[in-house]
Structure 1
């Protein structure tokens, strides 16, 4: 049953690589380029997952408890996570799938991310992590807090998403002339054609739904998740404890595999070595990302995609603070300094 995690992760990695589903770039573009398409795509994935998962709950396929809301840790951690993903050059999932493309800077960021996640969970920073998470409210469910059915909130989300989607799709498209003959076929669609972010988001939402029963079947009561499984990989390698190898570990390894297969098939795989300054920036960003995600109880996937779909305060407030953190880092890195020479991870050097 654990191998279903590998298959689910491979499918997610393939879809994200081909669809360039990058939340870091999406959040950054909201501020710098005033381009909200990737944010709208995230909302689509959230809405699709929310409808699907709550149908599974309604028909008793899975059970779910929102628990309490560690509001202080969520806000601080999410804000720091948003800062970290800018310096790392990608969020947790984006770093995994970009590593599958051969970006060595993403591998460097992953090392920092896994290391700090492990330190926060079972290392020297665990007491501080647990202490901050101890500041909670009793109710995490938006529906329970407001006394309004969760289906009302889901319906409201769907209406909002449909409004933004139709608004975005009605914008005039740029005409790009080409001399190439128009190609068709499954190979072209899978490996050559540029995927629309909204189409990618629908697929991500469907995969997120499938993840729930597959994960629950192994005793892991959760859907998609990146931070804890990433920490578990490092902890398994260090102390050789098989208890760390669960469905989530196979999920993140599957993301790497799926991205690699997609990149190879589309001729996008190549080793790219960052310069020393960018490598250091990636490592620092990965550590900040691991610190923030562990403190917040989730990353842009665990909180920003899954917990939001479950209609929890933790998910939506975490998403807000991740965006604010991304904007803050983007301001200082890209906007404020004139003639800024700050290195950011772009992994442009190719190893031949």
Structure 2
């Protein structure tokens, strides 16, 4: 009996050629986009999204995967990459915002920054989002780039996220009047100054990094790895398109992209377009209220219905998927398979939790946590603590259920 090796599979063989073709098409599309109203910003968003998608796919930058690696295996590299991204982006945002708003003052927020109200509702949103990550196996940003890898779960998770947004819109008015309306919106530089806020947040990140660093004490580095020396250019090129990039490369790149993005467009976020589409459809069907109290007055991943889908966020998202697709093809990691009922159930149920948490928390791990943390919003820290606690608890519950089923 003969078998076909993975390297000889037609999809694997043709993937690099398809990657070059897609990259060419993406480059040509920027000429058309440039001719539209606001074309330069749209091109910037498309290219930024493509670079972000490439980085996310090649470095496996996934908040859930990184947290799971630490909680289950004691591997700190992924969470350290998130810490690095926050630190780099925090410095970049401080420089840029200091030029826009030289004297930070309470009650005067920098425009468009993802700084939201802090209340128990935000905690509930983080817990829901974290639980959705455990159930579906990724956060929303990772589902977008895994969609480009051929994931069988991600299409259902994104559909479930849209349903979760609709559920969030239905519960919003009640939560708003109950808690959100009176909740404080805390921008740390307005209370501590730019320098004080930067030092405090970098100190917190340093403390988290020091705590995570303990994981390296359990590792034994092989002698041949220590003596490997500097690789040649050919080896460096091959490493770009095989395996995954180092964690720190992903963290550094995401931090720089987050800081540069605000120069030409809104902060990074990957749920605004999905939420807008869900809101527009649900309102057209009469499933949610036409008036969502106070929602559109908050910064974050805005979900206003759009008259056109050629917006910076939509182009960023299109670029992200295209960039991840190019990276997956070039590295021969595009591996589609037919979904099972289990894949659909995991994706839909986890996606609903993700969508409700993202809508109620005014963003996801990219918008509320990453962009909000870089901007100095207290809401980012509260959302992050709730989210990672939910991931820890969810993984513990899965482990206990696994042991019970075996006995």
TM-score interval (norm. to shorter): 0.7 to 0.9
Give ranges in structure 1 of 5+ residues lacking alignment. Answer: 216-221, 342-352
Kindly indicate whether the alpha-carbon contact (under 8 Å) linking 2:127 and 2:390 is maintained by their aligned counterparts in 1. Answer: yes
Which of 129, 138, 141 matches 1:81? 129
Residue 27 of structure 1 corresponds to: 67
Kindly indicate whether the alpha-carbon contact (under 8 Å) linking 1:29 and 1:36 is maintained by their aligned counterparts in 2. Answer: yes
In 1, the alpha carbon distance for the partners of 2:73 and 2:215 equals: 15
Residue 358 of structure 2 corresponds to: 293
In 1, the alpha carbon distance for the partners of 2:101 and 2:327 equals: 32
Which of 150, 167, 186 matches 2:197? 150
- Could you give the per-residue CA deviations for residues 56-80 of structure 1, whole angstroms, max 9, x where no partner exists? 1122399446766231221001001
Equivalent position SS for 1:195: coil
Residue 227 of structure 1 corresponds to: 271
Describe how 1:42-191 pairs up with structure 2 within 5 A: 42-60=82-100, 63-64=110-111, 69-121=117-169, 124-128=170-174, 130-131=176-177, 134-145=180-191, 149-157=196-204, 159-160=206-207, 163=210, 172-175=219-222, 184-185=233-234, 187-191=237-241
Residue 214 of structure 1 corresponds to: 264
| TM-score calculated relative to the size of structure 1 | 0.82
Residue 4 of structure 1 corresponds to: 44
Equivalent position SS for 1:2: helix
Q: How many residue pairs were aligned?
A: 330
In 2, the alpha carbon distance for the partners of 1:128 and 1:80 equals: 17
Which of 311, 322, 326 matches 1:261? 326
Kindly indicate whether the alpha-carbon contact (under 8 Å) linking 1:115 and 1:231 is maintained by their aligned counterparts in 2. Answer: no
Change (3 A) 1:340 1:261: farther
| TM-score calculated relative to the size of structure 2 | 0.72
- After the TM superposition, which segments of 4 or more aligned residues of structure 1 sit over 6 Å from their partners? 164-171, 236-240
Residue 195, structure 1, aligned to residue 239, structure 2:
no
Compute the displacement of 1:81 (Å): 0.4
Give ranges in structure 2 of 5+ residues lacking alignment. Answer: 1-40, 103-109, 226-230, 285-304
Compute the displacement of 1:166 (Å): 7.3
In 2, the alpha carbon distance for the partners of 1:136 and 1:67 equals: 15
In 1, the alpha carbon distance for the partners of 2:214 and 2:389 equals: 24
Change (3 A) 1:89 1:163: closer
The structure having more radius of gyration, on CA atoms, is: 2
